[in-house]
Amino acid sequence: MIPIKLHWERRVDGFEKDPDRPDELRARSERTDPMIREITDLEDPLVLRLMNCRTDGDFIKFVNRFGSPLRFDDTVLSLSLIRGMADGLRTQALATIGKHLSPHERAHFINEAISNVSLRPAYVYSEETGRGRLILEADTLHTFMMMEHLAAHEAGAVATSCEHCDKLFLTGPLTGRRSHAKFCSDRCRVAAMRARNAAKEADHVSA
Ligand SMILES: [Zn+2]
């Protein structure tokens, strides 16, 4: 796959809820910080982070850390728009879980998802390697996330939900996780083990 890059900006002082308009987030200041991302692996893709946002607080944390999905210079964001984006992605991920889609069906799903994606080719010279390389620049954070989604499909990674915290995570190639992983992280694996042991202990005491 040709490297996919994103040059984006995020609000240094973040967003906050507008007390008069519950659906709106307002930037606390005009100050922005540049950020560059590249899809290198699928261990912690932003698209999964967005899918796993549930509360308004989760969405605020997401945009504060990674920027606004569609325009980096947005000063006002619609919570319902971002929520709709996350719901759409999650529904799509869940629709493919546990289903044995034919390669044609899978391709159809993916093409629906990336129908609005726009990428710009660029040829960049690297001092480090002394060579130029072709990259594709995503025009928005949303595009970048859709390309992560595509990269996951291409690699054969599969979305699964964590048996402990219910968050979606990817398993298989490029994800750093075995394809039968049941937990999103070591933290959840350990927490689930503790909970099992505590339950056993309680049984033991009550017996
Ligand atoms: Zn988990």
Q: Could you tell me the two tokens for 100?
A: 């044995």
Distance 154 CA to ligand 1 centre (A): 24
Model pLDDT for residues 180-199, shown as the tens digit of each residue: 899 999 999 999 999 999 98
pLDDT at 131 over 80: yes
- As a whole number, mean pLDDT of residues 161-179 equals 91
Q: Collapse the DSSP code of 72 into the 3-class scheme (helix H, G, I; strand E, B; otherwise coil) and give the result.
A: coil
Q: Which helix (H) or strand (E) holds 111?
A: helix 103-113
Indicate the pTM of the whole model.
Answer: 0.88
In this structure, the chain runs to a length of 207
Predicted pLDDT of residue 109: 79
Predicted pLDDT of residue 48: 94
CB 51 within 8 A of CB 168: yes
Distance 187 CA to ligand 1 centre (A): 7
Distance 152 CA to ligand 1 centre (A): 19
Supply the DSSP string of 40-67, one letter for each residue: --SSS-HHHHHHT--SHHHHHHHHHHH-
Query: What is the rounded average pLDDT for all residues in the chain?
Result: 90
Q: Collapse the DSSP code of 170 into the 3-class scheme (helix H, G, I; strand E, B; otherwise coil) and give the result.
A: strand
Predicted pLDDT of residue 62: 97
Round to whole Å and give the CA distance between 151 and 45.
10
Closest CA to 152 of 177, 130, 189: 177
Contacts of 15 (CB under 8 A, 6+ apart): 25, 26, 27, 28, 60, 63, 64, 77
Q: Which of 32-36, 97-101, 175-179 tops mean pLDDT? A: 32-36
Predicted pLDDT of residue 134: 94
Band of residue 33 on the pLDDT scale cut at 50, 70, 90: very high
Distance 182 CA to ligand 1 centre (A): 9
Model pLDDT for residues 143-162, shown as the tens digit of each residue: 999 999 889 888 888 888 89
Each domain of the chain, given as residue ranges in start order, spans 4-157
- For tokens 């996330």, the residue is 145
The number of beta carbons lying within 10 Å of the beta carbon of residue 192 is 16
Distance 191 CA to ligand 1 centre (A): 9
